[in-house]
A and B are shown apart, each in its own frame.
Chain A
Amino acid sequence: MKPFEYLEPTTVSEACALLKKGGAEARVFAGGALMTILMKEGLLQPKTLINIKRISGLKGIDFHPQEGLTIGALVTHHELETSKVIQERLPILREVEKEVANIRVRNVATVGGNLASGEPLTDLPQVFIALDARVKIASSGGERVILLEELYVDYYQTRLAEDEIITQVVVPPLPGRSGIEYIRFSSSSVVDKPCVGVATRVTLGPDRKTCESVRIVLGCVAPTPVRARKAEGLLAGKPLDPKLLEEAASLAAGECHPLSDLRGSEPYKRAVVGVLVKRAFPRAYERAQQG
């Protein structure tokens, strides 16, 4: 890696100020899992890295009955994986995290870093989006909160300004009679990056049959994680029906824009989207019925 200045602010506002000062030549450095790759490749050569790991208040996983689950941006994947609060409140996250990269990356890479990267071949964003998660973003001007879904613009591009840092992820409490499922598909090794990732969340009405609200979030198959809204629309307001599900899966397959690459051709990835929707949705539905 080329030489750089390493600054270690101890507060968020200090960090944002440093980012603002450094402009395009300054980058946030959290776990560094992705950053080090980009820097070693020469794709990024920032003059200044702003290490945010010494800032307190960015860790912590808590549950508040009103707000829901709050996850500090510096929480690592492994911390999420092993958290008792998560195990109690949102065990799906543990299942998802177990399959992310490898244990070493999980010990170092952070939730905030993962979400802020905009990298396409990853798992968490689609799961959080299916849960209507929000992110708190700090800048030198203050703080704002947006839906995670609105963060993403394109491959590796988010709406974060140069001086902005994600400080927390907030997952609102899941309504009762909700179920969630995430299926990660690798077209090769189990430790390879995902080829397709589909998150579904169903909330049932009081009859425990009708889908009151549906989320189907497709990951790895578009420039950003994408809600398959047509598929969602088809399934919402109705009970689970195999023919309808088949049709929804087909719609979802058309609602993404996969790239043909080493992990699969575009038509293949679409086909896999369809299969995963068909498999994930009934499981989420069943969990909702039991919930």
Chain B
Amino acid sequence: MKKQIHVRVNGLETELEVEPRMTLLEVVREQLGLTGAKLGCDIQVCGACTLLLNGKPVSACSVLAVDADGGDVLTIEGLAGQGSLHPLQEAFMEFGALQCGYCTSGFILTAKAMLEENPRPGEAEIRSYLAGNFCRCGCYQEIVQAIKRVAGR
């Protein structure tokens, strides 16, 4: 039983037809072709699927697309402005805060949400907020440094 939903994705008003059981991740990746968010564990642990739903980081693998109806979704593809990257994207590259890149979208979106909640976090707060995003390549230190830079520390 499909349902029509209306979501603003990366600022663009978007109509989608979804089954209730479809996750936000599936719909964003398969129907919208926005493949920056990745499936890693499917159980809300790794953070590779993180999207910002109404400004808040969520595990898109476990959010029903229908629950995004009427809401705002931001993906990594929507982060860069016209012709320029977001400061977090620049900082991640500068500090070497990524290796294979699979977790990167999740980390950047989560960091963005954190800085919106708290523009000047200390290191402990950064580590705590991001503790639920996993990087198996082991870029944790560089990630923290990159975020500290953007936070003006």
Instruction: Point out residues on A near B: beta carbons under 8 Å.
Output: 1-6, 29, 32-33, 36-37, 40, 49, 51, 53, 78, 82, 98, 101-105, 107-108, 190-191
Contacts and interface: CB of A to CB of B under 8 A. Distances in A.
B56 A6 contact: no
A22 B21 CA distance: 18
Contacts of A78: 56
Contact of B131 (A5, A29, A190): A190
Nearest to B125: A98
Given A1-B21, A104-B47, A32 B62 contact: yes
A102 B44 contact: yes
8 contacts: A40-B43, A103-B113, A103-B114, A103-B130, A103-B132, A105-B132, A107-B56, A108-B62
Interface in B102-134: 110, 113-114, 117, 128-133
Contact of B58 (A53, A98, A107): A107
Interface in B15-30: 19-21, 23
Interface of B: 1, 3, 19-21, 23, 42-45, 47, 50, 53, 56-59, 62-64, 66-67, 110, 113-114, 117, 128-133
A33 B131 contact: no
A32 B3 contact: no
Contacts of B110: 103-104
B131 A36 contact: no
Given A5-B1, A78-B56, A104-B50, A37 B19 contact: no
Contacts of A1: 21
Contacts of A102: 44-45, 47, 131-133
A9 B57 CA distance: 26
A51 B3 CA distance: 14
Contact of A105 (B21, B53, B59, B129): B59
Contact of A3 (B1, B53, B114, B132): B1
Contacts of A108: 58-59, 62-63
A53 B67 CA distance: 9
A244 to B, nearest CB: 36
A1 B63 CA distance: 12
Given A4-B21, A33-B62, A107-B57, 15 more contacts: A3-B19, A6-B20, A32-B64, A82-B117, A102-B45, A102-B47, A102-B132, A103-B110, A103-B114, A103-B130, A104-B59, A104-B132, A107-B58, A108-B58, A191-B45
Contacts of A6: 3, 20, 64, 66
B44 A105 contact: yes
Nearest to A36: B62
A3 B66 CA distance: 13
